[in-house]
Structure formats: C-alpha cells, structure tokens
Structure 1
Amino acid sequence: MTTATQTQNPEELAPVKSESLAEVLIATERPPRPSPWSASVTFGWRAVLKIKHVPDQLFDVTAFPIMLVLMYTYLFGGALSGSPTEYLQRFLPGILVMSVVMITMYTGVAVNTDISKGVFDRFRTLPIWRPAPMVGYLLGDAMRYVVASLVMLVVGLIMGFRPDGGVVGVLLGVALLLVFAFGFSWAWTMLGLLMRTEKSVMGVAMMVIFPFTFLSDIFVETSTMPGWLQAFADNNPITHLSAAVRELMHGGWPGADIAWSLGWAGLFVAVFGPITMRLYARK
C-alpha cells in the first residue's frame, strides 16, 4: 500500500498583502482608553468576584469579629465596668476599629498572591492607569470592611449596645473608619510587593498590628497605664481613631481625634503610596 501526500502549490494560496492586513486591523475604531476611575472600579470588582468564588475569605470578617465581641465582653466586662452591658457601650466601637484594622493586612496578602501567580505581568501590559490594580485592591477590600462593621454592629445591638448618636452617629463613625483603613492599607500593599511569600506578609503585618491595637484605649482607659506606656498609647493613631469612632457613635463631635485620624490616613497614603508605585514599576 502506498500513501500519497498532497500539498498545495504555494502559488495557489491567496497572497496576503500588508495593505489589506492593515485595513482589517483598523477597520473599526479603537476603543477609548479607560479612565483611572473606571479601571480602578474594574479591578475592585475583580477583588469582589474573588470573594464570591472563594467565600471562605469572609470568615475573618464574620466569625472572627463575633468571637472577639463575645469573648472580650463577657470575659472582661464585669471586671472592668461592673457589667458586660456597661462595658459594651465603650468596648464595641473600639473592637470594631481593631477588627477592621487587622483585616487590612489581607490587601498585602492578595497583592503578593497575584505576584507569585504572574498575574501582575499581565496587568503591566494593559493600557490602563498604572495605579489602577492597587487602588482596585483597596476598593474591593472596602466591601470587606463594610461587612465586618455590619456584623459587629448587629451582634452588638443584640447584646445590648445602644449608640446615643443614633444612625447618623454610627454612619459617621464607620465612614471615618473606612477612610482610615483605606489609607492604612497602602502600607500592606508595599509590604506585599516586598515580601516573597504570603506567610511573610502576614507575619510582619501581625507584628505591627498587634502592638498598635492592644497598646491603645480600645480595651481600657490610657490613664490606667504606666506613664511611659501612656505616652505611647495617647499618641497611637489607633487610639485617636477608636476615640473618634466611639464619640461619634455616642453623639459627640471629637474634632481633635477626627483631625488626627484623617491626618494619619493622609500620611499613610502620602508615604506608602509613592513607595508602592515605585516598587510596582520595578517589580
């Protein structure tokens, strides 16, 4: 048996001219370049979709905050304020701040994960505003902060928390917390670009977050601390933030603490934002 291989004569193939190819490529108008806001929102929606497909990521903004509220309220409430309900009025805004601040580190973890998977190589080739992927991470994580705030407030209301500032005061307190968390997250985006693994990012972040959150007025008044520790706690950005959120929720207007909290948030963006983008450009 013999087999014959038939090949087409190259002359029979239709020639492709460079002029006709160019006409095909430019036959339709090129889509406009996305605006910085549009690109950032798109990357933020990408972060939300990741949570949709991996719902386990919501564990730290649901079960963990509930555990903190229940444990600390009923463990320390009677000893520190005479009753858990009385302690809850002061403690819940502070533990809300602590929970949201702690989950900001997952922004850096997400950045580091995408780098290790090579996704950033694709982002760098896109004709988009350069900071859009980073801003998108922060916008997507803002939803996690809102979920954590809602969970803690609902649990607190069930347990007996009664904010004197009403709905307006609570919304103002949560809004201030979200602004601070957005600024603070830039520190973790920088860390996500510097560290080699996710565990390294989480380890360094916890070493920073734990002293700042526990050495503050979240659990007790700073006046009960030793002098050297009180000096640190009074100038701790978390102390200013928790005091501002607490007063807003209870109907006050702590102008100094609000200014300090917004100032710290702006400082974080001004310092860590440019460093993050420089590292991102060199990565």
Structure 2
Amino acid sequence: MSTFEDHRSLLVAVAYRILGSVADAEDVVQEAWLRWSGVDEASVEDPKAYLVTVTSRLAIDRLRWAKSRRESYVGPWLPEPISTTPDAAEQAELADSVEMAMLVVLETLSPLERAVFVLREAFDLPFAEIAEIIGRAEPATRQLARRAREHVRDKRPRFDVDRDERRRITERFMGASAGGDMDALIELFADQVTMVSDGGGKARAALRVITGAENVTRYLLSINTPANMAKFLVSIGMSDLPDMEFALATLNNAPAIVISAAGRVISVISLLIADGKIETIYVLANPDKMGHLQPS
C-alpha cells in the first residue's frame, strides 16, 4: 500500500478542504484506502488521479450528509481547527484555502460548488478532470466554478497576510483577555468586531454571534471570571477544575490561541485581522472538535 501512503497527505488535504472537518476527512480517506485495497494497482494508469477522484466523490457524499445534520446543530457551526506548518514556498491559494475565515465562507457553497472550487482554486486541477470527478459535463463544471468564485469573492473577508503582525496582535489579545484589560481589548477591535462561538451544545458557549467592540469586550471579560471558567470546565466534564494553560500555535495557516487543561485541548481561539484590527473572533469549544489536537 506504499502507493496510497505516498498520496495520503494530499488526500487528507483535499477531503479536509471539502468537508471542514478533520474527523470526516480522516473517515473519507480511510474509506478511500479500503476501496484502493480492493483494486489491482497494475490496472490503474494514474494512481494519484484515481485516488483524488475516489476521495473527492466520497467527500462530496459525506458533505451532503453532514450539511443535513448541521441544520440541527446547537449554535453556530465552525470548521474543525487543524494543525499546519508555516511554509513560505507553499502555493498561496493552497494556504489560503485552509484559513478559518475561508472555510467559513466555503460552508455557504453547495457540496458540488465547494468541491469544484477546492479542486480548481486550491489544487489547480484541469476542468476536464474535475468534470470527470463530479460526473458533470465540462461546460457545466466551468459554470459551477464561476458561480463558486463569484460567491467566494463577494463573501470572503479581507485579512492581513503578514504572519508576524498577526502573531503580535494575537499575543496582545491573549494578554489583554487574560488580564481583564477592557481598554486594551477595545483598542484591538474593529468597531463592528464579531465573535462566533462553537460549543455544539456540548460546551458552555454563546449561542448567537456577538457584534460590536463593547459587547464583545464585556462578554469576554464576563466569561473570564473564576466562576464562569469553572462552569465552562464543568460543561465539558472537568469537575475537578484543573488549571488552564494558554499557548500560541499555528492552526489553519494562522496564529491561534490554544487553551489546555489536564493534558487536553479544551478550546481554540482564531482571529480574523484586517488593517491591524481584529474583525472576527472564532471560538471553538465543542470537545468533539478538539480531540485530534495536542496541547502546545
């Protein structure tokens, strides 16, 4: 199975970008492996193309199923964070396609539109190959791609690409939040900053998007009290109330705050930063989305 292992990282990358879920991506790649194990390798002219096709089709089917389940999700749904390694040589489109803000926008596309967008824009597959993957004629595939590009262009937020600047602002946010410094937080925020929290009904979290610098600041300071932090820990099954640790890590091609307790990751905070100001705060707390991450 060395041929499959040679392409595993690519298959995971494709599946994750289509699905926005690490667990679902891993399940899809495992299913692709099972199908590959039943194939005579000598009969496959292009193993890479074959495996990408199988993985993409499985991911599209899984996304259709997942979207129906997300209709009953408790509170906002956010993509699962994934650990990434900074690589200055990486293709810009491939790196951008894993950013949290981009994955949130991709959630608004149909499964076929999302698959076509990912395969074309992130992985630069030719339209003829994408058409074969999704089972559509090439003109229809080009139309799907055009519609997806226009939608992403209209919905995609601007964000600063300077990694060092983003890290400095993330560090300042972490310090101001931990220190309860209201003025410092407001200074970091855009006027219409938004905060999106994903607890999935399994962790104590805001059920609606919070908007406005003062509203977001007040909420952050309120949840940072010992009593409310204890309530959060209890909500995820930590009754002994262990100490929490805060660290920076590179997740989804950007600096992120990783919060750990008792040797496990319990929350991730990712910031969308534009023109030196925080535009959006993504807070992930659903324990089902933390299991694959390691404390920093």
The TM-score, its normalising length taken from structure 1, stands at: 0.27
Which structure has greater helix proportion? Answer: 1
TM-score (normalised: structure 2): 0.26
Larger Rg: 1
> Which of the two has greater strand per residue?
2
